[in-house]
Every structure is written in C-alpha cells, then in structure tokens.
A and B are shown apart, each in its own frame.
Chain A
Amino acid sequence: MPFRSTFSRVFTLEVGIAAAVFVLVLGAVGFAFLRSRLRRRRGEEPSNKSEHTVVESAYVVLLLAVAGFLVWTSLTANAQENSASGRPSVTVRVIGFQWCWRFDYPASHFSVTGTCEGGASGENLPTLVLPTGRSVAIEVTSADVVHEFSVPYLRYRTEAMPDHTNTFRVTLTRTGRWLGRCSEFCGVLHADMDFYVKAVSPADYRRWLESHHQPVLS
C-alpha cells in the first residue's frame, strides 16, 4: 500500500520546509524590530533604498529552485501512487448514494450495504471487507450526486461521481478495521455517510465470501 508511506514522506518533507520558512520569516521580522529599536536609539534615519537588484535576483533564483524541487517531489510522488500495474486479484465496486454506501463484489455476484443513520455511532454501518496482501482494485462511482469515498487511514480518497468511475489500486498490509466517510457535501444526511473498511486475512476473506455466496443470484 503505497499511499501511507508516500503521504508521510511528502507530508513530513513539506511540513519541515514550511516550518523552516515560517521560522525564517519570524526571525527576519524579529530582526527588523530589533534593528528599528537600535535605529531609534541612535537617532538614525531609515534606509532609503528602493531596490537591491542583485540580492533580489538571487532570491528569485533560490525561490525557483525550491519551487522546482517541490514540483518534482509532488510529481514523482503522484507517479508512485498511480504506479500499480498488472491484473488485480480482487475487484470491488463502491457505489455512493443518498445517503449511504453499497459495496459490490462482481466476481462473487453479491453486494453488501448497511444503514448509515446516526453516522459513526450507528450499529449497522456498511463494511467493505478486503483481503490483506492482495492487489485490490476499487472502482468508485455514484448513483445520484457527487460523494467522496475517503478513508483517512488509507491516506487516499476519490470523488464518487455519477456517470463516471474512478478506479484505484490498494494492497492492505495488515488486518484491522478503519472508519471511512463521505467527504463531499451531498445533501441533508451528508454527515451520516460513514462506513468501515475491514481488512482480513485471505483465508478469512474466502470464508467471508462463501458465507455470503447465494447460489440463487448466480
């Protein structure tokens, strides 16, 4: 699952740079305060310089270099996140609707859903069950308005749009259960549209599939 590692690498880097810039700016402003005080005490006039072309040009070059580095970081990370190739071993289809979620398992001919009423405190939230260690393709779409399939643990989200499918690939590395939410405003019960993603071992996954397999449908 590249999302978590890619995200934390890029986010840590950018927070680090941002913190450094913030401290630098505060430092420069603090320096200006001290210098101004000194000027006042010594009765000196303020500077009358309106331009320092050499310093400013060098500064522009520095800014270009930093911005260029950030662009490079962003683009390579983006390529890394979208690098999954080959056939997925599992394909699931996520359908957002007003105001809950349905998860289709096309290969097994069944769907799961639940009730979103009451949001995360609800008893019967829909749960997307996935196997660990397998490359999973998640196809996200909507039956009505725009929703957003977001799972903070995954560090990934994608809009669920009507008449369009967004697909992403994920390989879960450990078992667990995480809360997901709708993150695009979709109407009066937007706040209720919570769900779970549950990762189980491939063996448990197979058992779970069999327990849901209904021959009537196939």
Chain B
Amino acid sequence: MTDVVGTAGIDPNPVALVDLSIARRGLPSWLTTTDHKRIAILTMASSLVFLLTFGLMALTMRAQLAQPEQHLVSNQAYDELFTLHGSGMIYLVLTPLAIGMGLYLVPLQIGAPMVAAPKACLWSYWTYIFGGLIILLSAASTGGPDAGWYAYTPLSDSQNSPGYGMDLWILGVMLAVGAMMVMSGAVLWTALRMRAPGMSLLRMPVFTWSEVATCLMSVASFPSLLGAMGLLAVGRVDPSLFSHNTWNVAYQFLFWFYGHPVVYVMFFPFVGAVAEVIATFSGRKYFGYTFTVYSLLAFAAGSMAVFGHHMFTTHQSVNDYFSLSSIMLSVPAGVEYFGLIGTLVGGRIRYRTPMLFALAFIPQFLVGGLTGIMVATPVIDNQVHGTYFIVAHFHYTLFAGSVFGAFAGLYFWFPKATGVLLSERLGRINFWLMVIGTNMAFLPMFFSGFEGMPRRVVTYSDASGFGTLNLVSSIGAGILALGVGVFVYNALRSLILARSAGADPWGAGQTLEWTTSSPPPRFNFDGDHPIPPIRSYAPLLELARGPAPRRPGAAEEAAVGATAWPNEP
C-alpha cells in the first residue's frame, strides 16, 4: 500500500502529460493556453473586470436614487442600467468567478496534473468573453435590453421591447451561460475521475466538494435557461405567443428552474472557500466534514425543487409546496454553519485578511439566509415581493455573503496563483471599507422595502419618506466602491512589487495546493514538488503532525480509497 501512495508524486504516465498549447510564450501563450490554471486566471480576471464595469452601473443607479425626484439619468437609461447590472453580475461576474475558482483549484486540491477537457475549457472561456461583449454591445445598439435580468414576457417581446438590443442580449446570455455549463462539466469530471491515488471521495477538501455540488447544479439547471431564452427568441419573432398566459407562465418556470439553482452556483464555491480559510486560520482540521459534504449534496439536490417561490404572487405556482421545499433548505444550510462555527470554536485563530472576510461572511450571509426563510413564506412574500426588501435580501446573500466569501478566497489563493504576496495593511483597509459600505448600502433597503418601495423604480416621491434610507444606501455604495478600489490597487501593486510568496505563505496550508510551488508548475506537481501521502481531507496537516497513529486495517482502507489515473494504459 505504501507503494501506491509513494508513486503518486511521480508522473505515472509521462506520455500523456504533453502541453497541448499552441503558443509557448508571451501573450499568445496565455490566449491559447490549455493549462487549467491560466484559463482559470483569465476567467477570474475577466469576471473581476466585469465586476468593476457592472459595479459602476450600480453606482450610477445609487446616485440617481440618492435623493427623491431626481433625474440624473432618463427612465430608459435607468431601465437599461439595472438590466445590465443584474444580468452582468449574475451571468458574467459571479457564475464565472465561482466556476473559474474551481477550475483553478480543483485539479490542484485533488492532485491531478490537469483538468479534464482542457480545450473545452479554453473554448468556454472565449465563448464567455464573446457572450459578455455581446451583452455590452446590446446596450450600445438601438433599444438596449431594458426588461430586467429575468426579462419577463410579454414586456421583453418585440412589441414592448423593440430593436436589436434585446435580441443581442439573448444571444450574449446564451453564450455566457452555455460556456459556463461546459466549464463546470469539465470541473465536475476532473473531481470525479482524475483524483490522485489515495484521494478518495471522502478525502476531497471541502472546497472541492463545494465545487462538485456547484457543477452538479449548473449542469442540471443551465440548460433550462437556454430553453427559456430560446422561448423568448421564438416569442420575439411571433409576439402573439405571449398573449397567452400559458407561455408567459412557462417562460417564468423555465427561467426560475435555472434562476434559483444559479444563486447557489454563485454561493457554494465561496462557502467552500470560507470553510478552507476558517480551517486554515483556526489551525485545525475542518470540523463536521462528513456532515458538511452530505449537506452540500442534499442542498444541491433540494435547490432544484424550490424555483416556484419566485412566483408566489403570480398565484400560478404551488405556494404550499414551494414554501415547504424552500424552508427545508435551512436544514443543510444550518449544518454548514455548524461546521464553520464548530471549526472556529476548537481553533487557535489568526486574524489575517482572508480570515477577516471569512468571519464577516458568517453574520452577513446569515442575514440573507434568515430573511430568505421569510420570503419563502407566502404570507410574508405577499407584502414584500417586488420591493427593496427582496433587493436587500439577495444582496445580503450574493454580496455580503458570496462576494465576501470570494474575497476571502481571492486573498487566500492570490499568492498561490501569482507567486506574490498581497499587502496585509491594504487588505485590512479594503476589508473595513467593504464591511461598512456593504451594511450601509443594503441594510436600509429592508426598511424601505418593508414600507413598500418597489424595485426598479427610477425615482420616488418626496412624500414617500424613502429619502433618508436611500441616501444612506447611496453613501454606503460609495464606501463599498472605495473598498473594491483598494483591492484593485493592492493586487496591481503586489504584482509590481513582486514579493515572493513561497509555497505556503500562510504557513498552515492543509490541502495539496500548498505543497507545490507558487505558481505551480505546468502539470501542478513534479519531481521537485511531489504529491505527499493522502490520508485525510487535510493531508498536509497530518504530514506536519507526523504519521497518523496506526490502526489495524488502516492500510487496506487507504488502498481501497485510492483511485487510478484515468489515462492509465
């Protein structure tokens, strides 16, 4: 059995490990790369550029809403702004960031030399970029997309939204989402079929498991969006289609069959990142690993059955059933929280920048989750549907939760991916600006929404009394933007200063990516950076603590857990 583990670090089949990239150096080598790390860096960097783009649109909207009865932008421009902000953040920022992070880390964490289907991943990246550019182009064409990110029919049909903008938007959305579906298929395949010897399923790190659950959801739900967009395209050719209630409701169901799982696609990988960060900076193994893994899978399965809660007030959904299925998701969510907090409780905590973001994630996402139970209750949704309460709720989940988790992950793995250290001081400034900005921007929205301020209104009357709440939100959004700006500055500055990070800058890495160099070699592990023996989901921790106490039968167990390379002869 020792032999199985011992050979893991040595390339078992050198013939298979040939760099398929067309170009060898310079920019062309990046743009045509088949290295999963480079494709992932391109994907994540692009998603961050899109984050800044669509974030600027949010700032414009917050400026417009800062005072009652303002007219900084026209009604039409405002409608296009929120349509692009919503669709951009979902289709082009958070989904690609979530899956791109998996593309970078999953092969490293499971000791694989490459990703499954590297050329398909490169295709995905470029298709995503073209999709994104077409979405941006749609705004520049006549009749930009102005029907909201879920583009309900018949408002989005060719009679109510004439012009090419909406058509281009449909094309762009299909390309971007189709691309991410393919990329997540590759990540899933990698995790399931390319694990190093010794890396059994229940030894995969929590982050890898979160990516498995994520990719299962995207592979299962993204086709439904392609169906919805196809239906919308047909309806734009023949608008009489959407004079029938049946097709309007069909569109909503098809849309939300994608639209709900995707919010967990944009969330799970960042919970996984938070879990890794918390375990690392608590100096211990993740607590509640098995329960967390099963809860992630149960959550992913359950996520496919909650979409109807977006349609409570259409009264054409099954409100009781979808209320039940949605509220029950609090069980796996609660189990995941138990793991996070349990890990902290038994730990010796170090408060580094990634850890600060991970710690803020805990209460902030909780606000989103708890209000999620409220909006999953039809009698409450009957008061808050379509209001700023909902806007507050999903910004707490997706920004205060997911984006904070993403920043925890970015600060944590940036040195691994680039080989250089970020400034800890700037990281702290970034963190505090973002915490203050986020809560100032999104907390007041619960109150204005509760009082009935509808979503997607270009302005509101002075008499409504929403003025102060909106002003606080707008100031918060400015502080938040400043925080993001500090991150960009920190990242660029670090790349120029280039302080070497070493293999494990945190000095406490638990998973395989921390054994190899920063950045890792072309095939992740080589003779200088062999894969250590894998005996648990935190193999490096065990290595640091010395060999685990021998139990009778332990050897056999390890051998059963081992899987072979997929490309063995």
Q: Which segment, of B38-46, B187-195, B330-338, B409-417, faces chain A?
A: B330-338
| Bound: A32/B281 CA distance, A | 13
Cβ A156 vs Cβ B382 within 8 A: yes
| Bound: A60/B339 CA distance, A | 12
| Bound: A9/B448 CA distance, A | 21
The residue that B377 contacts in the complex, of A47, A74, A187, A189, with Cβ under 8 A, is A74
Chain A, residues 128-165, CB within 8 Å of chain B (1/0): the string is 00000000000000001110101010011111011110
Report B-chain residues with C-beta under 8 Å of the C-beta of A74.
320, 323-324, 327, 376-379
Any chain B CB within 8 A of the CB of A112? no
Report B-chain residues with C-beta under 8 Å of the C-beta of A156.
382-383
Q: Which residue of A lies closest to B284 (CB)?
A: A46
A interface majority secondary structure? helix
Q: Which residue of B lies closest to A37 (CB)?
A: B349
Tell me the B269-287 residues at the A interface (CB within 8 Å).
Answer: 282-287
Known: A28-B345, A188-B76. A157 touches B152 (CB 8 A): no
Q: Which residue of B lies closest to A167 (CB)?
A: B315
Any chain B CB within 8 A of the CB of A35? yes
Cβ A75 vs Cβ B380 within 8 A: no
Any chain B CB within 8 A of the CB of A6? yes
Cβ A7 vs Cβ B380 within 8 A: yes
Q: Which segment, of B167-175, B361-369, B512-520, B522-530, faces chain A?
A: B361-369
| Bound: A47/B245 CA distance, A | 59
Tell me the B403-424 residues at the A interface (CB within 8 Å).
Answer: none
Q: Which residue of B lies closest to A46 (CB)?
A: B284
Tell me the A167-218 residues at the B interface (CB within 8 Å).
Answer: 179, 181-191
Report B-chain residues with C-beta under 8 Å of the C-beta of A161.
245, 248-249, 314, 316
Cβ B451 vs Cβ A120 within 8 A: no
Q: Which segment, of B109-117, B227-235, B461-469, B470-478, faces chain A?
A: B461-469
| Bound: A21/B338 CA distance, A | 12
Report A-chain residues with C-beta under 8 Å of the C-beta of B456.
185, 190
| Bound: A202/B358 CA distance, A | 59
Q: Which segment, of B25-33, B122-130, B211-219, B288-296, faces chain A?
A: B288-296
Size class of the contact patch on chain A: 35 or more
Any chain B CB within 8 A of the CB of A39? yes
Chain A, residues 38-68, CB within 8 Å of chain B (1/0): the string is 0110001111111110001001100110110
Nearest Cβ distance between residue B67 and chain A, in whole angstroms?
14
Tell me the B310-329 residues at the A interface (CB within 8 Å).
Answer: 313-316, 319-320, 323-324, 327-328
Any chain B CB within 8 A of the CB of A124? no
Residues of B within 8 A of A (CB): 69, 75-76, 79, 146-148, 152, 154-155, 160, 242-245, 248-249, 282-291, 313-316, 319-320, 323-324, 327-328, 330-331, 334-335, 337-338, 341-342, 344-349, 359, 362-363, 366-367, 370-371, 373-374, 376-380, 382-383, 385-387, 451-452, 454-464, 536-537, 545
Residues of A within 8 A of B (CB): 3, 6-7, 10-11, 14-15, 18, 21-22, 25-26, 28-29, 31-33, 35-36, 39-40, 44-52, 56, 59-60, 63-64, 66-67, 70-71, 73-75, 77-78, 81, 119-121, 144-146, 148, 150, 152, 155-159, 161-164, 166, 179, 181-191
Closest A-B pairs by Cβ, 8 of them: A47-B346, A152-B452, A183-B386, A191-B457, A32-B344, A18-B370, A46-B284, A163-B245
